[in-house]
């Protein structure tokens, strides 16, 4: 069994596998999703591994706020002036497939609700 907290996203941070990176700072990285579900589909991740939002702690408060501000900045950079959706999937029922916390930015089309 693989107990390493590392996922494919750690490899993207280290540039070991390619990704279209649209934003980077000391704490966060944003890159285009490999299987886009909307005309704009970008993932914002912390460089520090937090597997799921359920495992975030009080100590992560500033980092989590930072990720949201990065998401809105990237949405602006992508000209999503008509709006967009931010999504965090958590665990099995949440549909999470990569266990490195990420915020999906989805935009460029009208979203449906409920999401399914
Ligand atoms: P989750 O289902 O965990 O919320 O979202 C994981 C997302 O990561 C999916 O939308 C999936 O398409 C994306 N993804 C998985 N592997 C890669 C990869 O190697 N590169 C990129 N750019 N996106 C990936």
**CATH class of the domain defined by 8-107:** alpha beta
- Hey, what long-range contacts does 85-91 have (CB within 8 A, 24 or more apart)? 85/111, 87/115, 88/53, 90/52, 90/53, 90/54, 91/52, 91/54
Tens-place pLDDT, residues 89-108: 999 999 999 999 999 999 99
Q: Where in the chain are the domains?
A: 8-107
Q: Could you tell which of 97, 105, 106 is best to mutate to test the pocket of ligand 1, judged by most ligand atoms within 8 Å of the CB?
A: 97
Contact 111 CB / ligand 1 (< 6 Å):
no
Tens-place pLDDT, residues 44-53: 999 999 999 9
Residue nearest to ligand 1 atom 13, measured at CA: 33
Tens-place pLDDT, residues 7-31: 999 999 999 999 999 999 999 999 9
Contact 70 CB / ligand 1 (< 6 Å):
no
- Asked if residue 1 has pLDDT above 60, the reply is no
């Amino acid at each position: 069994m693989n107990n390493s907290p590392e996922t494919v996203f750690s490899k993207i941070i280290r540039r070991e596998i390619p990704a279209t990176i649209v934003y980077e700072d000391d704490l966060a990285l944003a890159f285009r999703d490999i299987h886009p579900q909307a005309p704009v589909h970008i993932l914002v991740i912390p460089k520090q591994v937090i597997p799921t939002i359920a495992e975030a702690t009080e100590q992560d408060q500033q980092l989590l706020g930072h990720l949201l501000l990065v998401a809105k900045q990237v949405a602006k950079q992508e000209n999503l002036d008509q709006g967009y959706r931010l999504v965090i999937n958590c665990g099995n029922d949440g549909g999470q497939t990569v266990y490195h916390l990420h915020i999906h930015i989805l935009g460029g089309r009208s979203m449906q609700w409920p999401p399914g």
